[in-house]
Amino acid sequence: MAASIISEHTKIRVSSVLNRDTKQFGKKHLLDHIEDTCWNSDQGSPQWIILDLGKTLHITEIHIQFQGGFAGKECWVEGSTSDSNFKKITSIYPEDINSKQIFRMPEDASPIECVKIVFNSSTDFYGRVTIYCVDVIGRPA
């Protein structure tokens, strides 16, 4: 059965943080489950998030809640069995809305240890991306 595979051991890396203000907009807010905290990238494209899950797993869904007006466009998901050599798994097509969005992964995707979500562009004119929460759903490999 598939469930959230994010744990306290999940390591996060991001492309940037708005004005380098990690206290207010840092990566830790992606997984803190607090409604009014968020990760906010700095301007420029592309932006990305890497989640190192700590073990090899099959991912079935990715859940993301953007701030409307700061959603990713032209996005895709990559996977790797280490923190390098990422390969594209699938393209995703976020809407420019505030609600949580669910993106299903291909059933034949290989097991991975690291997930990279790439936001090649943004609905924001300056390329900023704002995300309130992200979750990865999956099962043991």
Q: Which of 43, 2, 47, 31 is nearest to 133 (CA)?
A: 31
The pLDDT of residue 121 is 97
pLDDT along the chain (141 residues), means of 10: 88 97 96 94 97 95 97 97 89 97 95 97 97 96 85
Count of CB atoms situated within 10 Å of the CB of 11: 12
Token couple for 59: 């991912």
CB 47 within 8 A of CB 94: no
Three-state DSSP state, 33: coil
The pLDDT of residue 84 is 77
Separation of alpha carbons 136 and 53, rounded Å? 9
Give me the CATH topology for the region 3-140. Answer: Jelly Rolls (2.60.120)
Token couple for 73: 């466009």
The pLDDT of residue 12 is 97
Give how far Cα 23 sits from Cα of 18, 19, 39, 129, Å: 10, 11, 10, 17
Separation of alpha carbons 39 and 14, rounded Å? 9
